[in-house]
Structure 1
């Protein structure tokens, strides 16, 4: 494997902006003029104008803009502004003034951190020709500083007067931007970064055409041609294998180069400073500087109406089912943590370790994710973050047309008008008073054991599961818990109910005050739906049925449901596991989006008023039509009368 220095995609960088900073008199301006003119200036102004090195100045063929700065107090704001626009910062000190080197670590590097700059730094000693030969070596001085400040990419000494290593300063600076070390290699542990390993593993699998776990000579040659536009000679392939075998015997076997050998080679390139080799490979396979696939390779359209959503197609679901079987190595019908980590080992990270995905799906007693749980997590991710869902599909091996993995659902308002829906994934918002049983309802959806302990939900959390409906049709129900204190803020957005297929209102049936608070939430949501045009079917769930229902709460909730034109409350006890088929009833309500839509008194009055207005307009229209017909008849009659005379 060998890289050829050619122009290419450098994480989207079309130019490199280098800002030179440091104490006054350390040689900043002379260094810039020297590289631009290849000569030492006799007279130098305090701050030179921006200089530009053309694209053909260095092999990567990316132009460079170099910005000089002043360290004086009156120019501090301008200095900060320039530093914040830098792709890389060159910090200078004077080799003949040790105090300026001390200032690099005592002032300049802490100042860059104070400004929260996340760009690499190169420390440059200028005036090398004046350096005292008795001074300690650069490596000895800089090693502890580089240990403390990991943002330092490299350090180098130069002389503008003698033209010693001047071009190298800006070559290393450009290289640090186009081929950064930090995303690839952990200097502290001296090993490849996790995300780099994951990307290289995916590339290895993609290049292993016969799927035998090794790269044969032919596959290695194809890889070389794809990445570097040049074939490998048989002697070169033998040389590569020999290097690997000497250092890592398991890196090569009779069939070819193994994954461990492939990773070892890249670690070796990086250790030898040939980062451009690994970066060329990554970029040829579509990775950016964050070692994620470029946005243009994840073509998810964001042009969706607020009441439209994304779902996995049957093609994508079939792919995921096959993948589930492949990684369920112990054939127990579930993916344990290690198996799931292995499945996502070619993605930048496992996507379900944090909320809202963590614990959002059904698991078995050993913590394994069932097939339904696995597919539910994918449905949830596709609903909430289609771009991330598609990216992860591609990371784990989906090779079909990306646009064939997802479909955009019909608008929910159209579903209501047509009195049917084509959706396979339904999102249910769960409202209710505090301690009413909302979280317990979500836990029941994913078969989590009931807990008497009350823990307030501060953030909206999710639960998802797959249900088989009549006709062997599978539907996914995703439930989102809405904390009581968040409802007012959520409903301040006109489109807040647009993504919702059905709203469920949970109250503690043993507590009359719980019902009163929940009924107010129902009224608020129903009013919002009427006013925004995003009406949703609503159901009432009477929770904690095992505690003995409060008579007034039961009577009033039944009366309210009848007055609003929705189904009577569904009694459940999560503690006893008596769920009264609540989840399938929620799905049925979502499947018939024109039913169970609550009507408020104000809404009824508005509807009645519109009917009266429409009726009046109809009478006016009919009256006008009669008048027109009468006038026409009179004209005909008059004409006949005149002709008879």
Structure 2
């Protein structure tokens, strides 16, 4: 394999030149820009632009000169923060400037958190004495071991033009074709993300899926990436090189995955990073070795910047009472469009069912963690190894993920991060139109008006005070028994997701999100916090009067939030720990409160005796009928009554005005006839 550079998508590279005074910074820049020996050099050179055709990648380079004086330190720091790469200079005839690299400049770049490639340039090479016998590798080797941000070192001379263009070529190359994402210099191996990306590319190019790239497949790969075929002699040469160094890299069928990886490691070791990057970018990867946005056509719930600006504009305006209600409704309509949720299409779900069957090798209805890890070997990493996905779905006693758990994890990822979900579908082999994998659901306002929803995935906020039984509810939803007496408070984000069977054989995915008591205030401080919620559940300890009082406060706070924002959500109360003696005062008060708010009475529940009381089906039914079970406070009722009066008054005024206009028109017609 051979080839040139791939497009990085960059429109320019900004290189900042730093170093001690007198090391030749300005002369270096002047010589590079004019391609001639500079006669007169200013103390600090003006920003200089090398045109696109200066280097093979055809990306312009802007060079920024700096002063090392104390007075200019602030400007120097600002320039470094904007740099894509840094050229750090020393003078070959001044050993002190070389020692200053490791004693001052490189530590200073780290202190300023300048995390870009560094090119060390030894200037004034022509002035170094002939007695100097130490090689550049011997000088810079220990420094490069200590400071891995150094990409390369080069010695040059502005007076003789020796290697002057090379300095900025290496700087540009370090930005366009970075080493850090691909190669671990300490281990001398490809980095895991690079291996995963190349494995996916190998799999896509292995058209007959025999585990090797045949001569024809290898040639097709070459044409796709570099627009040029491989000659038969070149293919033989590639295989010979691989077989000499990596015996298992070639077999009777062609180039194996190990051979493919070996070749790319060899390119990188020989400084030909542009070849590997050309391959990666051709298959859609960015510098972070994830698929770029233009390979992920996701239209998600986040909405356009223009809509968000309009929302903010409405939120900041000050209007009279009638206008405020109108603008509040307008704001709600805009936000309702933004907070539409995203689900997998039936086509994507069927693909995932097939993938699950493929990896369920023993056909026991579950995939082991190792099998799941194998599934994501062509993704940057396994997406479910950390919160909020870890332990959020149904698994067997052995920790194996069931089909329901597998599909529920995908539903959760699609709801929370549609882009990541689509990317992972592509990583694991989805070859259809990416736009056919996701669908944006109908707006919640429309669902409420039609008194039904077309959603297949529902998000439920689970509120309640400490020790009420929220975590036990989530655990039971995932089939985690028996009930534990040990109390472990939930401190971070926690989800539980599973498939719920409904009457008639339909299946819906329910996502429970536990809201810790101390997190409620922060949640409700965002006026749009309920926009993403389909149903809210309030869990309290039915044997504890304080638990009920705290839950009542939470319920009313959520009800008021819904009324103020326009995002009222169906609410259910769960009287947990029903196996204990219920508090009679709490029972009476809860009956009164639910009656006043117009919602169902609390649902008794005991997790200790494994009594789910079909609670999850009831939660789904509440979400399926978004116009019911929405609590209404007295303030809300008064506001609705006032709005009704205002609308009636406006209608009366409108009718009166219409009558007056008609009367005036009739009078004018009568007067005209009389005059005639």
> Which of 12, 25, 30 is matched with 1:15 structurally?
12
Distance of 2:255 and 2:658 partners within structure 1: 88
Which segment drifts farther, 269-278 or 623-632? 623-632
Superposed displacement of residue 263, structure 1: 0.5
The question of 1:439 aligning with 2:437 is answered: no
> Hey, what does 2:137 align to over in structure 1?
139
> Hey, what does 1:73 align to over in structure 2?
70
> Which of 457, 461, 465 is matched with 2:490 structurally?
457
Superposed displacement of residue 628, structure 1: 11
> Hey, what does 1:506 align to over in structure 2?
539
The question of 1:61 aligning with 2:58 is answered: yes
Distance of 1:155 and 1:92 partners within structure 2: 10
Contact 1:344 1:396 in 2 (8 A): yes
- Mark the CA change 1:632 to 1:13 in structure 2 (over 3 Å): closer, same or farther: closer
> Which of 85, 95, 100 is matched with 2:82 structurally?
85
> Hey, what does 1:301 align to over in structure 2?
299
> Hey, what does 1:560 align to over in structure 2?
593
**Structure 2 matches for 1:244-263, cutoff 5 A?**
244-263=242-261
**Structure 2 matches for 1:87-106, cutoff 5 A?**
87-106=84-103
**Structure 2 matches for 1:536-551, cutoff 5 A?**
536-551=569-584
> Hey, what does 1:597 align to over in structure 2?
630
Superposed displacement of residue 377, structure 1: 0.7
> Which of 149, 155, 158 is matched with 2:156 structurally?
158
Superposed displacement of residue 238, structure 1: 1.1
> Helix, strand or coil for the counterpart of 2:152?
strand
Aligned residue pairs total 634
Distance of 1:634 and 1:24 partners within structure 2: 94
The question of 1:34 aligning with 2:31 is answered: yes
- Mark the CA change 1:610 to 1:72 in structure 2 (over 3 Å): closer, same or farther: closer
Deviation string 1:554-604 (CA, Å, 9 cap, x unpaired) is: 221122222222111111122221111111110011111111111212223
Distance of 1:629 and 1:255 partners within structure 2: 90
Superposed displacement of residue 634, structure 1: 13
**Structure 2 matches for 1:361-510, cutoff 5 A?**
361-449=393-481, 450-510=483-543
Distance of 2:664 and 2:89 partners within structure 1: 97
> Hey, what does 2:235 align to over in structure 1?
237
Superposed displacement of residue 364, structure 1: 1.0
> Hey, what does 1:274 align to over in structure 2?
272
Distance of 1:31 and 1:209 partners within structure 2: 51
Which segment drifts farther, 380-389 or 153-162? 153-162
Distance of 2:421 and 2:649 partners within structure 1: 53
> Hey, what does 1:533 align to over in structure 2?
566
Which segment drifts farther, 29-38 or 507-516? 29-38
Distance of 1:627 and 1:424 partners within structure 2: 53
RMSD, aligned CA: 2.4
- Give 5+ residue unaligned stretches, structure 1: 636-641
- Mark the CA change 1:259 to 1:627 in structure 2 (over 3 Å): closer, same or farther: closer
> Which of 116, 119, 128 is matched with 1:119 structurally?
116
> Hey, what does 2:380 align to over in structure 1?
348
- Mark the CA change 1:525 to 1:40 in structure 2 (over 3 Å): closer, same or farther: same
> Hey, what does 2:389 align to over in structure 1?
357
TM-score for the superposition, normalised by structure 2: 0.90
> Helix, strand or coil for the counterpart of 1:153?
strand
> Which of 146, 149, 164 is matched with 2:147 structurally?
149
Distance of 1:371 and 1:181 partners within structure 2: 40
TM-score for the superposition, normalised by structure 1: 0.94
Contact 1:542 1:572 in 2 (8 A): yes
- Mark the CA change 1:540 to 1:306 in structure 2 (over 3 Å): closer, same or farther: farther
- Mark the CA change 1:217 to 1:605 in structure 2 (over 3 Å): closer, same or farther: same
Contact 1:306 1:495 in 2 (8 A): no
> Hey, what does 2:616 align to over in structure 1?
583
Superposed displacement of residue 510, structure 1: 1.1
The question of 1:572 aligning with 2:572 is answered: no
Superposed displacement of residue 44, structure 1: 2.3
> Helix, strand or coil for the counterpart of 1:83?
helix
Which segment drifts farther, 252-261 or 332-341? 332-341
Distance of 1:624 and 1:279 partners within structure 2: 72
Contact 2:248 2:256 in 1 (8 A): yes
Distance of 2:474 and 2:539 partners within structure 1: 11
> Helix, strand or coil for the counterpart of 1:513?
helix
Distance of 1:363 and 1:230 partners within structure 2: 50
Distance of 1:478 and 1:261 partners within structure 2: 44
Superposed displacement of residue 618, structure 1: 7.2
Contact 2:387 2:493 in 1 (8 A): no
Which segment drifts farther, 17-26 or 525-534? 525-534
- Mark the CA change 1:599 to 1:126 in structure 2 (over 3 Å): closer, same or farther: same
Superposed displacement of residue 460, structure 1: 3.1
Which segment drifts farther, 603-612 or 209-218? 603-612
> Helix, strand or coil for the counterpart of 1:574?
coil
Superposed displacement of residue 266, structure 1: 0.4
Distance of 2:33 and 2:422 partners within structure 1: 46
- Mark the CA change 1:41 to 1:540 in structure 2 (over 3 Å): closer, same or farther: same
> Helix, strand or coil for the counterpart of 1:547?
coil
> Helix, strand or coil for the counterpart of 1:18?
strand
The question of 1:321 aligning with 2:318 is answered: no
> Helix, strand or coil for the counterpart of 1:545?
coil
Superposed displacement of residue 208, structure 1: 1.0
> Hey, what does 1:24 align to over in structure 2?
21
> Hey, what does 1:46 align to over in structure 2?
43
> Which of 177, 182, 185 is matched with 1:184 structurally?
182
- Mark the CA change 1:172 to 1:621 in structure 2 (over 3 Å): closer, same or farther: closer
> Hey, what does 1:639 align to over in structure 2?
none
- Give 5+ residue unaligned stretches, structure 2: 304-336, 669-673
Superposed displacement of residue 59, structure 1: 1.6
> Helix, strand or coil for the counterpart of 1:540?
strand
Distance of 1:594 and 1:152 partners within structure 2: 62
> Helix, strand or coil for the counterpart of 1:541?
strand
Distance of 1:375 and 1:351 partners within structure 2: 14
Deviation string 1:435-490 (CA, Å, 9 cap, x unpaired) is: 21111111111122332222222223111001121222110000111122222232
Superposed displacement of residue 369, structure 1: 1.0
Distance of 1:62 and 1:627 partners within structure 2: 72
- Mark the CA change 1:273 to 1:621 in structure 2 (over 3 Å): closer, same or farther: closer
Which segment drifts farther, 249-258 or 488-497? 488-497
> Hey, what does 1:3 align to over in structure 2?
3
Contact 1:307 1:413 in 2 (8 A): no
Contact 1:306 1:498 in 2 (8 A): no
